[in-house]
Structures are given as C-alpha cells and as structure tokens.
Amino acid sequence: MTVETLPFSLPTLNHLDQLKEYFNPKEPLKQLEAMPEIRKNQSAHPFGPWQIAWIVVTSPFRAILSIFLEAMSYFLFFTFFSRSLEVASN
C-alpha cells in the first residue's frame, strides 16, 4: 500500500480550481470499482467453531460468577455498615 502525498499549501485555499484537483471524487470511485468483489460465505462463522463452543460453555459460568461476586460485595458492604453503626451508637 503506497501513500500518496500531495503538494498542498495554504495559498491553494485561495484558488478554488486548484483545490478541486486535490479532492476529485472520481479517482476513489474508479479504485473501488476495480477492486474484486468479496463474497461472504454463508456457512463461515466470524470465529472458529471451537471459539464459539468456548463462548457458549463459559458464558453461564461468567454470569454465575458475576452474580456471586456482586452478592458478596453487598454482603460485605452491609456487614461493615452495620458494624460502623454499632460503633457509632456506643
């Protein structure tokens, strides 16, 4: 892939005709038309079959783990909160 550099300068902004030469939309359209058409295979998955199986198998464990950790965080928060209320009341 080659990068094309244009001799663009600030005085070019004052000349509309020269400015239009830099932004010619016909060239990119010709390049797009010349590209080979890529047809998507309907039987192909975005991931491999083992990656899909891994996601399907591990997703329930992740959900259960996140629910467990959230419950533990609430439990620890309320335990600490009740202890701080007990200390404040004495």
pTM, 2 dp? 0.38
Give the pLDDT score at 80. 84
Which runs of E-coded beta strand occur in the chain?
Answer: none
Q: In the chain, what are the domain boundaries?
A: 10-37+46-89
Positions of the chain with pLDDT under 50? none
Contact indicator for 19, 13 with CB cutoff of 8 Å: yes
Average model confidence (pLDDT) across the chain: 73
Q: How far apart are CA 84 and CA 72, in angstroms?
A: 18
Tokens of 29: 């359209």
